[in-house]
Amino acid sequence: MKPSSVIGRRAFGIVGGAARLASAELLRKMHYANSAARHFQPLDIAVERGASDKRRDSNPPVAGSAEHQLRTFDAIRDFEQRGVLAVALPCFESHLFIDELQANTRVVVVDMIAALFAHIRQRFPFARRVGVLTSPLLCERRLFECYGARVRIDVVSVGVEDAGALRAACDSLIAQGVDVLLPATIDSALSVQRLGALAVPIVDSYAAYARHLITADHRKPARQITLGVVGGVGPAATVDFMHKVVRNTPAVRDQDHIKIIVEQNPQIPDRTDYLMGNGVDPTLALYATCRKLEDGGADVIAIPCNTAHAFIAPIEARLRVPIVSMMSVTADHLRTTFPAVEHIGLLATDGTLASGVYRSALEARGLT
């Protein structure tokens, strides 16, 4: 299925994996919420059931472990490549690393816990203290307390081992003065409704998340750009360019630097040879390299080779991301830095001179 190929439909991916019961419950609630909505909208919903990759153990990974993180990321990456609008995480444990997931993908990862606290704020405006029925691990990690603090809601979490302990957990939370109960495991979400009337209201976690998925405007989060570099034209120029990018980035720590993807391809045919009538046209090789960068997530492409810019016009026309023109930015710099200068001397390869790429950029800015 290619969800994005259906015009007029909203495409969602649900990460199932170890949380198969949770994904099934969310899918059911999404269909119910959509059918009950004032304006029904066609949906494409793909559910990841767990990969058949032989390298992976069939047993569920330990919650929050490296294996859990990698499996979840692989599922999201697959959805991203299939063109979904947003990805749902019905597994509460996956929210231990949701920030890392969102930072490393372009698709929107819809935060279930944030959606639930927003629902509580709207549906129960009187609530000042929320009791959370969750797993012992998430209780120990104080995950929900962190979310509650963001919206100024006091949170009391209880780790529930099994459904048999659910009544006692609810009574304990009510005794501690909670205003609302929030089931935060699939078992508690399915079982708490069977306890009968309680002294405080209970959030239907998966129904609230389903409504949020269907009705919210899922905008891609703002993120730092990724620079793609066509490398190998030549290799030394690539190293020099990378050094200057790092040196000129105002960074205090490693994480302050921008993301860079380098496709080092020294086998791109010589640009000057072709321009002088003695070699193979490098356009296709340059285009293929740019496409690899684009497919890898580059937002903008740099080519640290003057002569290669003679070939970029037809290449850029077929890309979804821009190529930064070395000629244009250099000419802009000269015009701004030396406003009184009119004549520029150019040291370049025969191919660059013959192509006239600098001449065009300079003349457009009143320079010769």
Q: Does the pLDDT at position 299 exceed 70?
A: yes
Which parts of 124-270 fold into alpha helices (H)? 136-141, 143-150, 166-175, 186-191, 205-215, 235-247
According to CATH, what is the number of the domain 226-363?
A: 3.40.50.1860
Q: Is 266 helix (H, G, I), strand (E, B) or coil?
A: coil
**9 falls in which pLDDT band (50, 70, 90)?**
low
Q: Which two tokens stand for residue 237?
A: 């120029």
Taking only the tens place, the pLDDT of each residue in 328-340 is: 999 999 999 998 8
State residue 5's pLDDT score. Answer: 38
Using alpha carbons only, give the angle 13, 69, 48 rounded to the nearest 5 degrees.
25
Q: Does 115-215 match 3-110 at the fold level?
A: yes
State residue 50's pLDDT score. Answer: 58
Q: Does the pLDDT at position 33 exceed 70?
A: yes
State residue 1's pLDDT score. Answer: 39
Report, as an integer, the average pLDDT of 93-116.
Answer: 94
Tell which residue, 114, 88, 84, has the closest CA to residue 101: 88
**CA–CA separation, 258 and 109 (whole Å):** 22
Sorted by where each begins, the domain ranges of the chain are: 3-110, 115-215, 226-363
3-110, CATH topology level: Rossmann fold (3.40.50)
Taking only the tens place, the pLDDT of each residue in 221-262 is: 667 889 999 999 989 999 999 999 999 999 899 988 999 999
115-215: which CATH architecture? 3-Layer(aba) Sandwich (3.40)
Using alpha carbons only, give the angle 41, 117, 75 rounded to the nearest 5 degrees.
60
Model pTM? 0.75
Which residues, 6+ apart, have CB-to-CB distance to 334 below 8 Å? 341, 344, 362, 365, 367
State residue 30's pLDDT score. Answer: 93
**289 falls in which pLDDT band (50, 70, 90)?**
very high
